[in-house]
């Protein structure tokens, strides 16, 4: 059982809770490297004690936070040299919400630089290692958040998901992660990568904590005009009887065999519980990755223009004209993958190419949305593997961007279409966790959480620590 679960059950007090957690981090994190910034133990302990008095749904609970979510007074680097020394003067809305419920931020977690990547290897601070197998990546981009749960440090964390960055690491670490419906969670204070695709979301060791954390962070925010009037209650397990489940066969086919057999196993268990299982096909699925990457890179190139060493970010050079200054600061402040995306994004949006790439990508996005809608007229949920492969070895995909982009096929669908998607552990293959993705209709987030709570009882796979 995680320290957090023991603490919540009253089996250990605050001194033990914080002490054991920091001991474990000291023991394991020089290798795993889930954190970019870890707060001081004394400071955290004092805060835990204060928050217990204050009360709330997470009174005194330790929370790990991805390093692209602004935390007042705590360095927020986006795993980039560009923001190596940046300390935000304000909190993201989600941070204010979790603090109000008594949570204590233990530290900021490693990620791909500006959330661009699928393995946490593009970080300026070096890769995080997968606690289940130190030669493997933890997935990304919220790799540090998911690894901090699998390593047993914490049981709740925040991540962000633009094209799979919560679900990929959730899958690779044997934990639960939700990419919420677009507009349900405020993005105020999230350092933007691709605004039209991303959401902040919860990651947890079990579906109950996932549901609690989502209920806290969800809701309309006057500071983010894309949020909607929405409130999420904590969800009880929802039995599967009569549930219409579509299994996306053309996605299953393109996944590794051992993953497929693990997923089929879980599907059989669902069927035993009375779910109605049917194989189905998602049309035009081959358009998903190209349209995702065209849109994501376009938005990224625009969002990252502000980091020039004058307005924001790494600022070593000020001589010469503005062009020379900007390009020197940007040249040294950004890593390779980020530069690749800024260049491609600027190219895509330039006169003459805009129609050919950007507009066509938006059309493809619409088409996929229509195809998804038609599946949801027949099925309550759609299932597939979260990731088509087991966690890549460190160094395996990082030098081959096309290979890295390709493993996002199953996850980008939910971001392109604004719907909620959960990854939950359903088994192991070659000693590594396998995650199943469940997608649902727009705003069915709490329904998916209820199903996940039922599934965690069915599989017995929760609070797994490597």
Residue with smaller CB distance to ligand GLN, 61 or 149: 149
What is the torsion angle, in degrees rounded to the nearest 10, for the CA atoms of residue 396, residue 398, residue 399 and residue 401? 120
Residue with smaller CB distance to ligand GLN, 51 or 341: 341
Element (H, E) at 332: helix 322-333
- Rounded CA separation 280/126 (Å): 41
Element (H, E) at 404: helix 401-406
Q: How far is the CB of 290 from ligand GLN (least distance, A)?
A: 13
Q: How far is the CB of 271 from ligand GLN (least distance, A)?
A: 31
Q: How far is the CB of 412 from ligand GLN (least distance, A)?
A: 7
| Farthest CA pair distance, the chain | 71
Residue with smaller CB distance to ligand GLN, 21 or 162: 162
Catalytic residue flag (residue 165)? yes
Residue with smaller CB distance to ligand GLN, 36 or 465: 36
Q: How far is the CB of 292 from ligand GLN (least distance, A)?
A: 7
Residues at the contact surface with ligand GLN, assessed by CB under 6 A: 115-118, 141, 161-165, 193, 296, 408
In angstroms, the first-to-last Cα distance of the chain is: 12
Which residue of the chain is nearest ligand GLN when measured via CB? 165
Residue with smaller CB distance to ligand GLN, 105 or 297: 297
Q: How far is the CB of 414 from ligand GLN (least distance, A)?
A: 10
Q: How far is the CB of 188 from ligand GLN (least distance, A)?
A: 18
Catalytic residue flag (residue 374)? no
Residues ≥6 apart with Cβ < 8 Å to 443: 181, 184, 230, 420
Residue with smaller CB distance to ligand GLN, 210 or 397: 397
| Residue tagged active-site, from 70, 80, 118, 141 | 141
Please choose, from the candidates 454, 452, 456, 434, the residue with its C-alpha nearest in 3D space to the C-alpha of residue 444: 452
Across 227-241, b (16+ Cβ under 10 Å) vs e yields beeeebebbebbebe
Instruction: Please check whether residue 152 is in contact with residue 27, taking contact to mean a CB–CB distance below 8 angstroms.
Output: no
Long-range contacts of 40-48 (CB under 8 A, 24+ apart): 44/18, 44/104, 44/106, 45/14, 45/15, 45/18, 45/19, 47/104, 48/14, 48/17, 48/18, 48/104
Q: How far is the CB of 165 from ligand GLN (least distance, A)?
A: 3
Instruction: Please check whether residue 116 is in contact with residue 141, taking contact to mean a CB–CB distance below 8 angstroms.
Output: yes
Residue with smaller CB distance to ligand GLN, 117 or 385: 117
String of DSSP letters for 58-73: TTT-EEEEETTB-BTT
Catalytic residue flag (residue 327)? no
Catalytically active residues, by annotation: 66, 141, 165
């Amino acid at each position: 059982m995680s320290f957090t679960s023991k603490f919540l059950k009253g089996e250990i007090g605050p001194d033990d809770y914080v002490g054991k957690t920091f001991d474990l981090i000291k023991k394991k994190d020089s290798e795993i490297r889930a954190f970019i910034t870890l707060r001081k133990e004394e400071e955290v302990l004092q805060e835990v004690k204060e928050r217990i008095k204050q009360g709330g749904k997470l009174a005194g609970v330790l929370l790990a936070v991805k390093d692209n979510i602004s935390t007042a007074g705590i360095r927020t680097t986006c795993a980039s040299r560009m923001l190596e020394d940046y300390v935000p003067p304000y909190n993201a809305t989600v941070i204010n919400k979790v603090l109000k419920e008594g949570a204590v931020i233990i530290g900021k977690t490693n990620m791909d630089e500006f959330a661009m990547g699928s393995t946490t290897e593009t970080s300026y601070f070096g890769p995080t290692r997968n606690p289940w197998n130190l030669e493997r990546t933890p997935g990304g981009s919220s790799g540090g958040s998911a690894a901090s749960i699998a390593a047993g440090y914490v049981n709740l964390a925040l991540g962000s998901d633009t094209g799979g960055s919560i679900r990929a690491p959730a899958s690779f670490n044997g934990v639960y992660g939700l990419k919420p419906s677009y507009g349900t969670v405020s993005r105020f204070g999230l350092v933007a990568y691709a605004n039209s695709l991303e959401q902040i979301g919860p990651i947890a060791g079990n579906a109950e904590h996932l549901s609690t954390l989502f209920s806290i962070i969800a809701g309309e925010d006057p500071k983010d005009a894309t949020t909607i009037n929405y409130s999420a209650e904590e969800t009880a397990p929802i039995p599967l009887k009569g549930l219409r489940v579509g299994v996306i066969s053309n996605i299953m086919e393109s996944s590794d065999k051992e993953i497929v057999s693990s997923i089929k196993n879980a599907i059989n268990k669902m069927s035993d519980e009375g779910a109605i299982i049917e194989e189905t096909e998602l049309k035009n699925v081959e358009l998903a990755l190209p349209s995702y990457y065209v849109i994501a890179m376009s938005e990224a190139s625009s969002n990252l223009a502000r980091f020039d060493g004058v307005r924001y970010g790494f600022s070593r050079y000020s001589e010469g004209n503005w062009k020379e200054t900007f390009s020197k600061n940007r040249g040294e402040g950004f890593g390779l993958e980020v530069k690749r995306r800024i260049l491609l994004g600027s190219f895509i949006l330039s006169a003459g190419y805009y129609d050919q790439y950007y507009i066509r990508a938006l059309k493809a996005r619409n088409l996929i949305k229509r195809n998804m809608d038609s599946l949801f007229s027949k099925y309550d949920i759609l299932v597939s593997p979260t990731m088509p492969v087991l966690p890549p070895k460190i160094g395996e995909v990082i030098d081959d961007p096309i290979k890295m982009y390709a493993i996002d096929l199953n996850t980008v669908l939910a971001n392109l279409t604004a719907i909620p998607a959960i990854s939950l552990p359903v088994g192991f293959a070659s000693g590594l966790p396998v995650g199943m993705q469940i997608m649902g209709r727009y705003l069915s987030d709490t329904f998916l959480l209820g199903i996940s709570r039922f599934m965690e009882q069915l599989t017995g796979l929760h609070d797994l620590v490597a």
